[in-house]
Amino acid sequence: MFSDPLFYIAAAACLVVAGILLFGIGGFGSGGGFNKKHANKVMRLRLYAQLGAVALMVGFLLLRGVGGQ
């Protein structure tokens, strides 16, 4: 599992999602003009990145047969 490059791509996608989430939370915390202008776009970006990360994880599990029997 750890020697598979697809595993590392899926893990990197999860880290990207976490980074976008932390960036968005920081924007919410600071408030002001940045939050008003970019909050919706950042969270929409997180949603798309999260969809891609989940698709990569499911693809990894389906292609490699990890889990199940």
* pLDDT bucket at 23, cuts 50 / 70 / 90: very high
Confidence band, pLDDT 50/70/90 cuts, at residue 30: confident
Contact criterion met (CB below 8 Å) for 67 and 61? yes
Its domain, for residue 11, covers 5-61
Of the candidates 48, 66, 68, 51, the residue with the CA atom closest to the CA atom of residue 7:
66
Determine the average pLDDT of the residues in 10-34: 91
**In the chain, which residue ranges form alpha helices assigned H by DSSP?**
5-30, 32-64
Instruction: Establish if 41 belongs to a structural domain.
Output: yes
What is residue 22's predicted lDDT score, i.e. its pLDDT?
94
* Integer Cα distance of 32 and 14 in angstroms: 28
Domain count within the chain: 1
Residue 14 in domain: yes
pLDDT digits (tens, 9 = 90+) for 31-63: 888 888 988 999 999 999 999 999 999 988 888
Task: Answer whether residue 37 is part of any domain.
Answer: yes
